[in-house]
Structure 1
Amino acid sequence: MEPTKKVLLLLANGFEVFEASVFIDVMGWNLVEGDGSTELFTCGCKKEIKSSFKQRFLPDYLIGDIDINSFDALAIPGGFEVYGFYNDAYSDKFLDVIRGFKAQNKPIASVCVGALPIAKSGVLKNKKGTTYNSPVRRTALKDFGVDVLDQPIVHDDHIITSWNPSTAVDVALLLLENLTSKTNADNVRHLMGFDVY
């Protein structure tokens, strides 16, 4: 049995539930039906987080209690500005977690505007990336020094970015592939039925 790989799902207030749920499900399916090697834990800036559309969540950890050495990968869903996503996502504590994972060259995966705090942290400077396919978000990414590509998923230097919720499952499976193997990720994709649509 492979040693457990721990994934930290970093949640900003106003995060998008669907984009978070794919990481939970893919890593969970792998734990139960795949090679059994992944566990996922949630983390936020507060004891209770409200998602976009105002659902309430209780994260496993507060951001100040995280020991980056205990985790193998970071996942960041996007969210909506109108629900306050950037208040947490652009906070120093949030950005420091991203920098800590990059300093150890651990995989970082994001969906949609989850790329923007990664870029703001500085770890995507002079690297390729993408984000939500709107001019405002693309310009923001470029202003952080990112070479913005017009494609659904970009993988550069252990960092995965993507352009909208439709990419979320593929991003989570790509992160699983990075943590385990392509064969294992393809098996989980098959078990979850995403190879038959």
Structure 2
Amino acid sequence: MKKILILISQGIEILELSPFIDIFGWNMVVGKKNTTTTTTSIHDIIYCTWNLKIFPQLNLKKENIDLEEYDALVIPGGFGKAGFFNDMKDSTFKNVIQHFNEKNKIIIGVCTGVIPLGEAGILKGRKATTYLLDNERYFSQLEKYGAIPIREEIVEDENIITCSGPKNALETAFLLLEKFSDKENCDIVKKNMCF
């Protein structure tokens, strides 16, 4: 069983979270049944950018979590005006990212969810992308973190996968499913999800 930890912040964009929940949920119904997801945060309630509330399964500030049990980490992006960039400065949040990197486990940053990877210090000398349509602001941040900015929708650099926006969250979730199973299984899940 492959276990995926989804680290969510205040102000996340739901379409950057939901593909990972849905695709791996569908895999448990029509696919190989070899994946689980767990949402976690440093809060009891997450207030999303577009007026939704999420209740994470685990609160890192209140519960002990064995990070060794997990095979991949996903960080959906969000909007600064909704508080997204505040959580990534927290040491607990950074420690989770650093742990996955030290263990060479897959880390996915979606859109602005790539910025916490830089804050955690794991992008130095690594290729990464982020939101492509915002006047270089986020790419300038990548450069400050020592990353090698690549203006493409999805970029893989060893264990780190970054993508540029909500559209690519879906594609990246399927990419992770294929890595954790195979192309045939991924195609079965896609077909059953009407792709």
- Asked if the contact 2:7/2:74 (under 8 Å) is kept, the reply is yes
Query: 1:72 corresponds to which residue?
Result: 71
Judged with a 3 Å threshold, the aligned counterparts in structure 2 of structure 1 residues 186 and 125 are, in CA distance, closer, same or farther, namely: farther
- Asked if the contact 1:107/1:178 (under 8 Å) is kept, the reply is no
Q: Which amino acid aligns with 1:168?
A: A
- Asked if the contact 1:43/1:61 (under 8 Å) is kept, the reply is yes
Query: 1:36 corresponds to which residue?
Result: 33
Please say if 1:20 is aligned against 2:21.
no
- Deviation per residue, 1:101-152 (Å, 9 max, x gap): 1111111112111111012211121011100012111111111111011110
TM-score normalised by length of structure 1 = 0.92
In the comparison of the two structures, how many residue pairs are matched? 191
TM-score normalised by length of structure 2 = 0.93
3-state SS of 2:124 partner: coil
| Aligned structure 1 segments of 4 or more residues deviating by more than 6 angstroms | none
- Asked if the contact 1:8/1:42 (under 8 Å) is kept, the reply is yes
- Deviation per residue, 1:19-66 (Å, 9 max, x gap): 100100011011111100011110011111111123211111012422
When the two chains are superposed, the root-mean-square deviation of aligned CA atoms in Å is 1.2
- Asked if the contact 1:63/1:93 (under 8 Å) is kept, the reply is yes
Distance in 2 (alpha carbons) for counterparts of 1:63 and 1:24: 19
Distance in 1 (alpha carbons) for counterparts of 2:88 and 2:188: 33
Query: 1:114 corresponds to which residue?
Result: 113
Please say if 1:57 is aligned against 2:68.
no
Q: Which amino acid aligns with 2:89?
A: Y
% identical equivalent positions: 38
